[in-house]
Structure 1
Amino acid sequence: MRRRYLSPFVLPVAAFAVAILAGAVLLRETSVLPGGLPWVDALFTATSAVCVTGLATVDTASAFSREGHWVLLGLIQLGGLGIMTYSSLVFYLWRRRVSLTDRLAVGQALLHDPSFHLGNFLVRMVRMVLFLELFGALWIYALEPDVMGVFGALFHAVSAFCNAGFSLFPDSLVRWQHSWGMNAVIMLLITLGGVGFAVIDECLMLLRGTDLGARGLSYPAKLVLSTSAILTFGGALFIFLSEMGGGTQNGTLAQTALTSLFQSVTCRTAGFNTLDTGHMTNVSLMIMVFLMFIGGSPGSCAGGIKTTALRIIWSFMGAQFRGRSQVVVAGRAVNPQNMNKTFALLITATGSVLFATLLLTMTEGGDMPHPMVRGQLMDYLFEAVSAFATVGLSTGVTPSLSVTGKLCLTVLMFVGRIGPIWLLTTLQQMQSDVRYRWPESDMPIG
């Protein structure tokens, strides 16, 4: 009798689903709302916390007791550590061209790296994450001991590093929009959480001058860091120019540059904001939609289609315009398997966002004439991208969504956190191989 083994790709999907359901129950029990927290809001908030998104249908500060805030903090930490643990391992093995299935099945011998031990790798990662979060909490507390307090500093440090974006203040971090110290620590935590443990580990080895560090940064690490820098500073420049023309900026040139940089960094799936997103210009919102859709880097807490996918797509278009058959990214050719996965990811992600936007348009006033809902399409697109990329930024429409609209974003957050490629791989692992091929044929395109 043929046995079918559970694919390792199914495990994180099941673990996240169980954590979300348990979190929803706990959040209902710790809610202090007069009528109690509705199940749909409990499920939405738990999904947003475990998927480290930050979208909220209720005010986090007033809707839950201190026990509820601890539950939220635990869900955020669990989600951030869980996805980073699994993603870091995948990133590590991908860098050494060892399949995850083989690595889990056979063990250390296939890696050809005597210094690698899975347990030590994961313990080192968890210790580094906790150290960085504690360092950020101490920095935040030193800046605002009275306003933040010990718990507030810890909550915001964990939320920032895990790229969750949950805040204990109704206006997020708007009150600190001109505080260089607060902006610096939050942006640092967001950036570190967005590049991933594997890249941080390589940078530390490089600084310590170890044998592995002496070889310099690996190709994937260089790719991640360079692309992240281009997106962060390029996005900040465009937001700066857009908001200077008549948006929410009302400070000096330096303060405007600071808030623009913060918004660009937080678009990399963090979810905090120092500006009222709902009052920013449409140009800024479109730039933010693009940055959110790209997201962070592989092996990190961030969502989106990832920086590496952007580089492959950009290089593919460049190769097409130059008439070259090979797609080259930073001096390395991309193999067909990576190309197929990248375009499968792009198509699935785009389709998910557009389908969710269509559903939101239908459920939130689809029976009204266009003049009565003018401008809402941008809001729904923004919410859909924010949910899929697990960003958490909102133009302010999330709390007013219908039950169907909230459930739509809940599913989108889950799919975006697990990742369309991850989800497709899981489904493919359950299918039998097809042992035949269809005849190929050319067809006119364009």
Structure 2
Amino acid sequence: MRLTPLASPYVFPVYFFLATIIAGAMLLTQPMSLNGTELSFIDALFTATSATCVTGLVVVDTGTHFSVFGQAVILTMFQLGGLGVMTYTSLVFYLWRRKVTLTDRLAVGQSLLHDASFSLGRFLVHIVLWVLILETLGALALWLFDPRGFHPWSAVFHAVSAFCNAGFALQSDSLVHWQGHAGVNAVVMLLIVVGGIGFSVIVELEEWVRNVIGKRKRQRLSWYARTVLSVSGLLVFGGAAVFLLAEVAGVQGDFSFSEGVLAALFQSVTCRTAGFNTVDIGGLTTITLLVMIMLMFIGGSPGSCAGGVKTTTFRVLWAFAVAKLAGRQQPVVGRFAVDQETLGRAVTLFLFAVAIIGAATLWLLVSEAGGVPHPQARGLFLEILFEAVSAFGTVGLSMGLTPNLSDSGRIVITVLMFVGRLGPIVFLTVLTRLHERSRYSWPEEGMLIG
């Protein structure tokens, strides 16, 4: 029996995310979630979407507006969103019935790994245990580095938020208080990077480390893992270098050189969809902000807690551009050429992401600056574009525009976060499965370009 598109396992994550967001929004409006304050349903829906989609954009201060119960609801949502509601659901089914249907297995495989052929039960138990261990160690390290700044609940909240690339903080200025603390910065950056490289790469790295410790023959990392790690490293250190050069005057005026390097590295890492910041984002130069927009648009790696179009998409498109300039037919990454299907998906995802961000930016310009002459709205376009890319990439960084958005603007950002977390490629996959593959081809004709 052929499943209808709405009953396809590929759209199950959409349903689970929607259910989690609605349930979370309803809980956040309850008095027990608030610190003697009020929260409109639109703001609750915005916060629930931001948490479930691990974005970190906020319209109210998380640390003061919500009670501990409300903060626990937010933590639960970005923990579920970071690993994927579908992952947890499949794990529950596995532990309960000791078996999962083939459709569930393929659905989770497509969303978590680049290869759908894997042992679902063993993989899920394995990865959830590792996630809990890493988050626990991260929380313990934050508490040990600063017991006053990170009391036990705060340490747990920030550790989980960092690993899930959520960017939620209990301080109104995020982590600016620790901008020169090497230990706290290192812990948060490590959690962000591990949470953003993808679960399959984590599994490979674990096996590689075991071989090194056991002095066994070290098996080489796969082509995919090496690509993810190399591109991630290039973007992190490249972004940090640009940040340091562009902000060198301001950094040198406020910090020592080592503190400036630490701030530059942290901001570059957090642009990979984490959302924390140790400097005032609104006070950065236009050059730095433009580079941050690029980093946020690329995001993390497939099958991770991060958003964006992903590092592999960026690498494939870069290889395609190099191949065309070199006169080669095949885009080459490392030792292998990228197949046409992968190239087609990368191009489609890129164009779809640009179209979504462009449409959202246009709408925000109308809702937030409609009718305002350009001299009065100078700089607002960059702020809106920054906000739109941050929402789509589920980053959570802001130049201060979020709390001042109109209801219409908040709805647009809410939709952007939802689409950005699930990924346009999910929707494209559903759409492509509505149509059967054509058994014919159209006649081709050349066209003048450029």
Written as runs of structure 1 = structure 2, the 5 A alignment for 1:31-430 is: 31-32=33-34, 36-82=38-84, 85=87, 104=106, 117-209=119-211, 214-246=218-250, 250-430=254-434
CA contact (8 A) 1:247 1:280 kept: no
Once the two structures are superposed, residues 140-174 of structure 1 have per-residue CA deviations (whole angstroms, 9 ceiling, x without a partner) of 11112122211000000000000000000000000
> Which stretch shifts more, 347-356 or 5-14?
5-14
State TM-score, norm by structure 2. Answer: 0.90
2: CA distance, partners of 1:3 / 1:33 = 46
Deviation at 1:214, TM superposition (A): 3.4
Q: Which residue of 2 aligns with 1:94?
A: none
Structure 1 stretch displaced more, 210-219 or 328-337? 210-219
Alignment check: 8 A CA contact 2:35 2:65 kept: yes
Query: Alpha-carbon deviations, 1:218-256, whole Å to 9, x = none?
Result: 110000001101100010000000011346961001100
* Aligned twin of 1:4: 4
Identity of aligned residues (%): 53
For residues 356 and 246 of structure 1, the distance between their equivalents in structure 2, rounded to whole angstroms, comes to 33
Give the equivalent residue in structure 1 for 2:94.
Answer: none
Instruction: Provide the secondary structure at the position in 2 that maps to 1:445.
Output: coil
Q: 1:324 to 1:281 in 2, by over 3 A?
A: same
After superposition, the Cα gap between the structure-2 partners of 1:130 and 1:307, relative to the gap in structure 1 and judged at 3 Å, is same
Deviation at 1:211, TM superposition (A): 11
User: Is residue 23 from structure 1 mapped to residue 24 from structure 2 by the alignment?
Assistant: yes
Asked if 2 retains the 8 angstrom alpha-carbon contact of 1:289 and 1:382, the reply is: yes
Taking a change above 3 Å as real, the CA distance of residues 266 and 388 of structure 1, as seen in their structure-2 partners, is same
Per-residue deviation, 1:102? 10
TM-score w.r.t. length of structure 1: 0.91
Q: Structure 1: 5+ residue runs without aligned partners? A: 90-99
Q: Deviations over 1:372-414 (max 9, x none)?
A: 1110000000000000000000000100000000000000001
Distance 1:287 1:212 in 2: 42
Per mean C-alpha deviation after superposition, the further-off stretch among 346-355 and 420-429 is 420-429
Cα distance in 1 for residues equivalent to 2:84 and 2:217: 27
1:13 matched to which residue of 2? 14
Conservation of the 8 A alpha-carbon contact between 2:17 and 2:85: no
Whether the 8 Å contact between 1:235 and 1:287 is mirrored in structure 2 is yes
1:18 aligned partner, one-letter code: A
Cα contact 1:54–1:164 (8 A) shared by 2? yes
Point out the more displaced range, 419-428 or 256-265: 419-428
Measured in 2, the distance between the counterparts of 1:24 and 1:288 equals 30
Segment of structure 1 superposing worse, 427-436 or 225-234: 427-436
Q: Larger deviation: 42-51 or 424-433?
A: 424-433
Change (3 A) 1:247 1:347: farther
How far the C-alpha of 1:38 sits from its partner, in A, is 0.6
**1:186-235 Cα deviation digits (max 9, x unpaired):** 00000100112211111111111189983211110000001101100010
Which residue does 1:443 correspond to in 2? 447
Distance 1:84 1:242, change over 3 A: farther
1:84–1:299 contact (8 Å) kept in structure 2: no
Counterpart amino acid of 2:369? G
